[in-house]
Structure 1
Amino acid sequence: MSGTGRTQGGRSRLGSALSGLAVAVGCVLFLGGFVWGAVVYQPYTVPTDSMSPTVEAGDRVLAQRIDGSEVRRGDVVVFTDKVWGDMPMVKRVVAVGGDKIACCDADGRMTINGKAVEEPYLRTKGPASPTAFNATVPEGQLFLLGDERMGSLDSRVHLQDPGQGSVPRSAVSARLDAVAWPLGGLVERPAGFAALSGGVSQPGPVKLVVGSVALGVALILGGAAYGPVAAVLGRRGGRGARDRVTADA
């Protein structure tokens, strides 16, 4: 065998080994990403427009499974409470235990402990609520509003109930991280709550999960494509070598 033949054969074996490794690593990342996502997230279909425009009725979202103790102001959460109909609902947490919440100030903004909160996620540019309200949230409870303030049935409707419309932290099962379909990207943590005590929650690992799956797919496809591509290039190289031999003859 000529030196060229041995070199090509060595390259071919190395390429095959690397392509096999790429496929193996890709499978691990792809399957691992799906398993990780299934453990951390629960898919959920939003039933109403009460959180419009952040999420719309029928949107399929990814909600990170969390404990109620992890909830911060500004989070959009999935919760279930008997007083609210004992079915999963989606609302935004605007106040936590110990907060004094009121609406509206002279500029139409909601206030928490006397501090006005900017809410750019609201669709309307008018007051943060069409009806005035105020409440003191008991410890261990959460005060929740829909982003569609004109039609949302939320803590404002339950102000006369025990707890002044709040629900226990234990009622929360998940926090929305992203709109999966139609593709809507991440559900942002509002900066308006960041200056308050406790700050806002950190985004979940949805980017890492999606990145793991996407990289896995790329490695699998790239590794699987190596064989056919190498075969085509090898045939072209063989024809070129034969043509040169014929020309030299």
Structure 2
Amino acid sequence: MGGTARKDGRGRLGNTLSGLAVAVGFVLFLGGFVWGAMLYQPYTVPTDSMMPTVKPGDRVLAERIDGDEVRRGDVVIFTDAMWSNAPMVKRVVGVGGDTVKCCGQGGRLTVNGVQVDEPYLDTARGMASEIPFEVKVPEGKLFLLGDRRGASVDSRAHLQEAGQGTVSRSAVTARVDAVAWPSPQMLERPGAFGALPGGISAAGPVKPVLGAIVAGALLVLGGAAYGPLAKRSAGRGGSRTGQGAGRRERAGVR
């Protein structure tokens, strides 16, 4: 009787804990999705202008932000009627007050006279731009370039227009934090811009969001699996007990 009571007690505790794990897991899993949906918008990259950072057809996660939060080096999604009626994705290389110039020593971009190392570039001759330019970015504006400078239609294509190809901060709707599909990866903030006033953006919350979703899924699966595993274990224990009793009975007959 005592052994049965202990087993029943352990069984009730196990069922309680497994139910709690499932409940907490659902909260984390669904909460992570809701949290992510509130913070992020999905976007499919339409062109190759940002290769190799993002490729045509890549599905990216872009954090919804206000234009005032944009920093140099950010890969942003924006809409500007002078460029296109559709959302576009480019990298911010200059903000209001900056003097952006190309090219400096070794063909590198300079911002306020500081040469910027751009390891993310996809260029044929290793130059930051084959089109020379020098732009003083107006306050409240951004100067944007594609990472594939030889194929990107960006601020350089609008140098002769008012504002010299700059885009209003208010045109930005989101900042790309990660590629979700087909090759999941995080987009790192380029450290070269960190030495300039204002620094670079902090990492987005995509990792905590994904962590909550994964942890929730594991808790749900683990909690749901407890019941069948416990029954199987109990069945094996009962079978061993029955076999032991049978052996004892046979021994007594002999």
Counterpart of 2:16?
Answer: 17
* Deviation (angstroms), 1:171: 0.2
SS in 2 for 1:44: strand
Counterpart of 1:223?
Answer: 223
Corresponding position: 1:192 with 2:185: no
* Deviation (angstroms), 1:150: 0.2
Corresponding position: 1:57 with 2:56: yes
Counterpart of 1:100?
Answer: 99
Counterpart of 1:29?
Answer: 28
* Deviation (angstroms), 1:164: 1.1
TM-score (norm 2): 0.96
Deviations 1:106-130 (A, max 9, x none): 2110000000000000123611111
The CA distance in 2 between the partners of 1:22 and 1:85, in whole Å, is: 49
Identity fraction in percent: 62
Q: Which amino acid aligns with 1:73?
A: R
> After the TM superposition, which segments of 4 or more aligned residues of structure 1 sit over 6 Å from their partners?
none
Counterpart of 2:252?
Answer: none
Q: Which amino acid aligns with 1:187?
A: L
Deviations 1:134-158 (A, max 9, x none): 1000000000000000010000011
Counterpart of 2:212?
Answer: 212
The CA distance in 1 between the partners of 2:246 and 2:173, in whole Å, is: 75
Q: Which amino acid aligns with 1:233?
A: S
Larger Cα Rg: Structure 1 or Structure 2?
2
The CA distance in 1 between the partners of 2:81 and 2:217, in whole Å, is: 43
The CA distance in 2 between the partners of 1:90 and 1:178, in whole Å, is: 13
* Deviation (angstroms), 1:243: 1.6
Question: What is the count of residue pairs matched by the alignment?
Answer: 248
Counterpart of 1:171?
Answer: 171
Deviations 1:35-70 (A, max 9, x none): 000000000000100000000011000000000000
The CA distance in 2 between the partners of 1:183 and 1:126, in whole Å, is: 26
SS in 2 for 1:95: strand
The CA distance in 2 between the partners of 1:78 and 1:117, in whole Å, is: 22
Q: Which amino acid aligns with 2:39?
A: V
The CA distance in 2 between the partners of 1:230 and 1:183, in whole Å, is: 39
* Deviation (angstroms), 1:247: 2.1
SS in 1 for 2:157: coil
The CA distance in 2 between the partners of 1:144 and 1:12, in whole Å, is: 62
